Amino acid sequence: MKNKNTSLKLTADQLDNRQRIKAIIASASGNLVEWYDFYVYSFGALYFASVFFPQGDQTSQLLSAAVVFAVGFLMRPVGSWIFGRLADRRGRRTSMVTSVLIMCGGSLLVAILPGYSHIGIWAPILLTLARMLQGVSVGGEYGTSATYMSEVAVAGRRGFLASFQYVTLIGGQLLALLVMLALQALLTVDQIKAWGWRIPFLLGAVAAWVALYLRRGLHETIGQEVRARKEAGTWRELLRYKRALITVIGFTAGGSLAFYTYTTYMQKYLVNTAGMQTETASRVMTVALVVYMLMQPVFGTLSDRIGRRNNMLAFGVLVTLFTVPLLTRLASVTSPFLACLLIILALAMVSFYTSISGLVKAELFPIEVRALGVGVSYAIGNAMFGGSAEYVALWFKQQGIESAFYWYVTVITAVSLVTAFTMPHAGKDNASGIAEDLRI
């Protein structure tokens, strides 16, 4: 007897082009909402930091908010383990539906949370709890969505199609920034600080429900026989691929640090270091992020032509060489146009990594532990270097040695460059390996 949900149980090799595109869109929509909810915290911190951390000057308040932001990253390994195992044993769709539901809860909690003046120390404690929930959710989202997109994509166009993970990831950032710009246009600074900053979190919670509806119809990419294997989603099986784990951590260290330096931290850098007005910095970052988002499919397609390893080598060489001069010039920039141009240049270099970030990692692991392997190794590297980027940058500034942060980014990126030289798979496209996995 046929199951009435048979259409949802088609594996990746059984999907036609229309179904593949629909699967990419449905997966990407949830990815966009997840990252919007996560990043709106960073962009809104300029307004609500004083609500939860009233003591000290602006740098001290932002530093406290950055600590809570980093806590979200520290929870990512937990989320990647929970949802990676869930994805490998119960299916990608189940994992992605659950993760976006948790993100909804975290955003709603922040939206309704009273400030320090009302509940005292409980305000920052509950804010931290909400960020922990969001960190768990995003930790599970990255590995599962990267795995899902790599499995849905077809050979020869895998880089192009998988690049839409970062199109929507950046789109989430951009959407968060556009919402903040709308608030700046409609409300006064005092109104935003008093209550307006809650609106973006409330919108994120509502959008999560829409994404939840779309994800319920996702096609599964692995069959029941694969999920039933005793080694699926287990640490024992994952630890057989230590080299792949180390490779992903090495890539993520420099890639995530560079990414967060030139995206979420850059707005604060322009305001707190270059002395730019908050509204001007927001506009600069909006333009830069739009261009950055559009660059992802271009660089993803390039990886289909020249190979993942060459993309990663280009990222490592360029960011290692040009981080110090770029950040030094941005520290004293006065022209918004020049600031935007320099940031776009930096983001173009980072695009060699971000366009294939999830794909190059997914291609290193077998199907039984792919979601777990990508998620855990990425989350560890991201928690150590990406999530701490703002805190480290602000700490160096507070110590009066801000330029030391530029060299910190340079050294960590050089680690990713060394990793690229030694990565296991150096071919153009490891699609055949993934495709073979999906036919088992």
Please, are residues 184 and 282 in contact by the beta-carbon 8 Å criterion? yes
What's the mean pLDDT in 335-353?
A: 96
What would the two tokens of residue 258 be?
């560079």
Does residue 1 form part of some domain? no
What would the two tokens of residue 6 be?
């048979």
Domain count, the chain: 1
Cβ neighbours of residue 372 under 8 Å, at least 6 residues apart?
80, 81, 84, 85, 87, 88, 143, 233, 238
How far apart CA 79 and CA 135 sit, in angstroms, is 7
pLDDT at residue 262, rounded to an integer: 94
**CATH code of the domain in which 163 resides:** 1.20.1250.20
Q: How many CB atoms lie within 10 A of CB 33?
A: 31
| Domain with 178 in it | 14-438
Please, are residues 253 and 381 in contact by the beta-carbon 8 Å criterion? yes
Does residue 3 form part of some domain? no
Confidence band for 14, pLDDT divided at 50, 70 and 90? low
pLDDT at residue 318, rounded to an integer: 97
Confidence band for 134, pLDDT divided at 50, 70 and 90? confident
pLDDT at residue 129, rounded to an integer: 87
pLDDT at residue 320, rounded to an integer: 97
Cβ neighbours of residue 265 under 8 Å, at least 6 residues apart?
42, 389, 390, 393
Residue 65 has pLDDT above 80, yes or no: no
Does residue 87 form part of some domain? yes
| Residues 285-317 pLDDT 10s | 889 989 999 999 999 999 999 988 999 999 999
How far apart CA 16 and CA 29 sit, in angstroms, is 20
User: For the ranges 4-18, 40-54, 148-162, 205-219, which has the lowest average pLDDT?
Assistant: 4-18
Residue keyed to tokens 């040695």: 401
pLDDT at residue 54, rounded to an integer: 74
Does residue 348 form part of some domain? yes
At how many degrees (to 10) do helices 242-262 and 336-354 cross?
A: 170
Does residue 8 form part of some domain? no
pLDDT at residue 8, rounded to an integer: 42
Cβ burial, residue 274 (10 Å; 0-12/13-18/19+): middle
| CA nearest to 215, candidates 110, 91, 130, 111 | 91
pLDDT at residue 21, rounded to an integer: 75
pLDDT at residue 302, rounded to an integer: 94
Amino acid letter for position 32 = L
pLDDT at residue 2, rounded to an integer: 40
pLDDT at residue 410, rounded to an integer: 96
Residue keyed to tokens 């406290």: 64
Residue keyed to tokens 């709308």: 182
Residue 405 has pLDDT above 70, yes or no: yes
